Structure 1
C-alpha cells in the first residue's frame, strides 16, 4: 500500500548534493502526517508511484498532429523533473544558419526561463486530484501547464513580483535542498526577465506559461559561431537535428539518441539514459545499431567523443 514506500532515488539525489538522509529523513522533511503515516508529498517522492507526466510534441501549431509523446513519472518526482528538463533541453534545439563565414545557432527558447518554468510547474502544481503538469511543444511555441490557479489570496501583481505561497511546502524544501530551486520566489521574476506577463495565462484551475519560439535572424559574421563544431568533428549542431529527422534508416528512438549526441558529443550512456527515461543497456543497443548503420563513430577512448556521419543517406 501507500505506507510501504521506499526512497532510494531521493536518497541518492541528497547524497549527490552533499546532504545525507538518515533513518529519520521522513520526519526531517515533514513528510509524515500527524499519526506518523506518510502523506501525499512522500508518495510523489517515492521510488514508485502512479504519477504520469507527459511531454508531447506536435508537428504544427495545434494539437491535431501528435508526432511524439514521452511519458515520465511512476518514480521520484525529482527524477521525473530532471528527465523533463533534459528532454526539453534537447527540444530547445538550435536554429542554425550556415553563412559564408561560419555556422551560427540560437536556441528556440531562453534556456534559463525554460528551466525555471519547468521546475515551477512541478513545485507549484496542485496534485490533490492526481493531475500532473503537462508540457507541449508546437511548431511555434512551448506550453507548460500546471494544475491549480493562483494560490488563495495572492494577486497577479504579487505573483509576478515573486511572492511565494508554496502549494507544496515539502516539495519546495526538497527542490531547494537539491538546488533545483535557488531561493523562494526567484523563479517567476527570472522568467519575466526574458518573457512578458502576457506569457502567463491564469484560470481557476490551471496556470499556463506559453513561450513563443524565437525566429532567428542572425547577421552574417554574427557572434555565435560554430567554434565547437570545428573542434568536435565537423558541424555538429542544429542542422543535424533536421537531417536526423528526415533519415529513414533510423528508428524514432535511435534518432533521439543521435540528437542528444549531436547536442553534446561527449555525453555519457548514463546521461542519455536519464534524458530518455530508459536504462543504459537499452542505450548501448541503440548506439550499437546506429554505429552499425554507419551514422556514428567513436573518437578516442573513455575521454573521447562521438562523431556523427550524416552523409550516409
Structure 2
C-alpha cells in the first residue's frame, strides 16, 4: 500500500470495478506502469469489496480480453487489506509493445491512452504512430529458435513443483511460438538444451588481471542455469564475524536478498537478441552483475530508481512469475534499494552493471571508507577520506587504466565537470597520475593499497 493519501502519476484509486477500468490499465501500459487499487475511495480511505476472488478473476479476464496487444505477464492482481476491509491491488507494468489500446475501439485516439499526472488522457494520432513505429523492433517472441527440435521436460518439472502442470497447449499459452507457429527464442531459452551459457568468474584482486575460476552454467533451461548461478554465488557469499566490545556480529559479504533479486533481474531483463548472456563476477572487494541491453527504451534512470517496471522480455517475466522467482512487478528493485543505493548501478548505451561492495547492508560511501575484511587483503588507508564519487572513479581506473573522461561519465553517471573534479582531487592526494598524452596515455595508481 503506498504511503500516500491521494492519487498521482503512478497511483489510482477506484471505489469499484467501473467501466473506465481498462482505460486506466491502458494508460499505465503506455507509460511506465503504476498501481490501481480497487475498493478505495478517491480520498484514499477504504471502501472495501465483496467476493474478492470473483472480482480478482474479473479484473484478469477484462485485461486479457479487452486490451491489445496481449498484456499477459505485464500485470499482477493481489488481494490486500486496508483498515480491516478487503481491497485489490493491480500492479501494471509499462509495456514493451506500445501503443496498447481498447480492443473494441482499436488503435485510435479514442482507444489509446496515457497517464498525465493523476489523469488519463487520449493519445494523439502522432503519439500513436510514433509508438507503433518504435514497436517494430525485434523481440524474442518474433525471433525463431535456432533449432526447432526442442523439448521442455525441465520446465514441466518446475511447473509441476509449483502445482501448475503444463498441458499440451503450453507453448501457445506461454507464447513460445512465433506468429507462423514455430518455436521462438523464448522457447529456446526455456528448452532442455540450447546454446546459451552464463559465466561466473572469480578474480584474486579488485581487477580482472588475475583470474582464478571461470565456471559456465548453461546449455540447458535458463531457469536451471539461473538456479545453478544463484547457488554458486551463495557459496561465495560467505558469512564473516566481526567482534565488537558489545557483541559478535555475523553477516554475509553481500546482502543475500539484494543479490538474489539482482541476479534474477539480470537474467529476465537481459537483451538476448545479440546472444549476449549476463555475466557474474566475484572480486576481492565486491560482486558484479553485468547484463546486456542497458535501460529498456522508454524507461529513464529516474523511472528505474523509482521502481517503475517495464519488462524487456514479457514472456520470460510471465514464466518467472508463474514459478515464484519474481513477485510483484518492480518489487525486486525495491528490495535491492533497501540495502544499496543508486551508486551501485552504472549504465552505458548497451550494458547495465550492478556492483555490490562487501560489508553487507551499509551504503556505498560507508562500505568503501570502512575497513574491508583482512581475508581479502584490500586495506583502505583511513587518512584519505574520499567521496563516493572519487572512490568510483578510482575503481574504474583500476578496471581500465586507459579509461577516458567521456567513458567515466557513461560508466558512473555523473557530469563531466564532476568527474574532472574527482580526478583533480585524486591527483592532488597523490593517488593517481596521468602517463602520456591525453588521447593515447593512461592512468597509473600511485597508492597500491587502493
* 1:40 and 2:185 are equivalent in the alignment: yes
Cα gap change, 1:15 to 1:199, in 2 (>3 Å):
same
CA distance, structure 2, for counterparts of residue 139 and residue 213 of structure 1: 9
Shift in Å, 1:69: 1.5
Q: TM-score, normalised by structure 1?
A: 0.67
> 1-side partners of 2:247 and 2:339: how far apart?
27
> Higher helix share goes to which structure?
1
Match of 1:213 among 358, 382, 385: 358
**What CA deviation, in whole Å up to 9, does each residue of 1:194-242 have, x standing for no partner?**
101011101110010001111799xxxxxxxxxxxxxxxxxxxxxxx99
Q: Structure 1 residues 215 and 113, CA, compared in 2 at 3 Å: closer, same or farther?
A: closer
Alpha-carbon distance in structure 2 between the residues aligned to 1:37 and 1:150: 29
4+ residue runs over 2 A deviation = 96-105
Greater CA deviation, 112-121 or 100-109? 100-109
Contact 1:95 1:216 in 2 (8 A): no
Offset of residue 105 of structure 1: 2.3
For 1:160-171, list aligned pairs within 5 A. Answer: 160-171=305-316
Secondary structure of the structure 2 residue equivalent to 1:70: strand
Residue 296 of structure 2: aligned partner: 151
Asked which structure has the greater RCO (Cα within 8 Å, sep 6+), the reply is: 1
- Are the aligned partners of 2:197 and 2:218 in contact in 1 as well (CA < 8 Å)? yes
Q: How does 1:129-278 map to 2 (within 5 A)?
A: 129-214=274-359
TM-score, with length taken from structure 2: 0.47
Query: In the alignment, what sits opposite 1:105?
Result: 250
* Structure 1 equivalent of residue 153 of structure 2: 8
Q: After superposing the two structures, state which structure 1 stretch, 166-175 or 101-110, moved more.
A: 101-110
Tell me: CA distance 1:109–1:197, structure 2 relative to 1, closer, same or farther (3 Å). same
Counterpart pick for 2:234 among 77, 89, 96 = 89
Which of the pair has more CA radius of gyration? 2
How far the C-alpha of 1:101 sits from its partner, in A, is 10
Residues 78-108 of structure 1 deviation map (CA, whole Å, 9 limit, x = unaligned): 1111111111011110113578998652100
**Take 1:149 and 1:210, find their aligned partners in 2: how far apart are those partners?**
15
Give, in whole Å, the separation in 2 of the partners of 1:102 and 1:193. 24
Aligned with residue 28 of structure 1, among 173, 180, 190: 173
* Residue of structure 2 in register with 1:71 after alignment: 216
| Maintained 8 Å contact 1:109/1:211 | yes
Asked if the contact 1:31–1:38 (Cα under 8 Å) also holds between the matched residues in 2, the reply is yes
Residue of 180, 200, 203 corresponding to 1:58? 203
* Count of aligned pairs: 220
Distance in structure 2 (CA, Å) of the matches to 1:35 and 1:27: 12
| Preserved contact between residue 270 and residue 293 of structure 2 (Cα < 8 Å) | yes
For 1:169 and 1:175, the matched residues in 2 are separated by 10
Deviation at 1:187, TM superposition (A): 1.1
Q: Any idea what SS the aligned residue of 2:339 has?
A: coil
Structure 1 residue 23: Cα displacement: 0.9
